[in-house]
Amino acid sequence: QIYEGTNGIQALDLVGRKIVGTGGAFYNLFADEIRHFTGTASADLAEFTKPLNDAVTTLDELTAWLLDRAKNNPNEIGAASVEYLQVFGYVAYAYMWALMAKAAFGKEAQDDFYASKLGTARFYFARLLPRIHSLSASVKAGSESLYLLDAAQF
């Protein structure tokens, strides 16, 4: 991550312009592509497609929540943007790892390269993808707590 304002700017662009600004249309393109993959993948890939499908469902719910809240309170966009970007990113990476797992599946006994891809994908799904749940809770905490202190209390 680059911390010279870049993450925040990219997060605001994603949430403000691409998610809220399109009424969720941009998000739906992304989610539909993942759903197509999980719906058509071999049952042998269930260890990847099931948690990926669950993750996109979590992101569906988070996106719907954000779209609803942003209608009445534009502060929700700024309050949610960084964590929403992170959730989106974790789901996008899960999709990429599931695609790599599909390409490697069945070849791992023949080549360590494929075995390492599957091992790394399993690590990602077990250790990193679950972070979306705490990040989603942070988004759903809303913007209210950001405004509890007045300027004199800083």
Catalytic residues: 4
CB 118 within 8 A of CB 98: no
CB 140 within 8 A of CB 59: no
With CA atoms as reference, report the closest residue to 19 among 54, 91, 68.
Answer: 68
> Which residues lie below 8 Å from residue 40, measured CB to CB, with a gap of 6+?
none
Enter the tokens of residue 118: 């599957």
CB 121 within 8 A of CB 48: yes
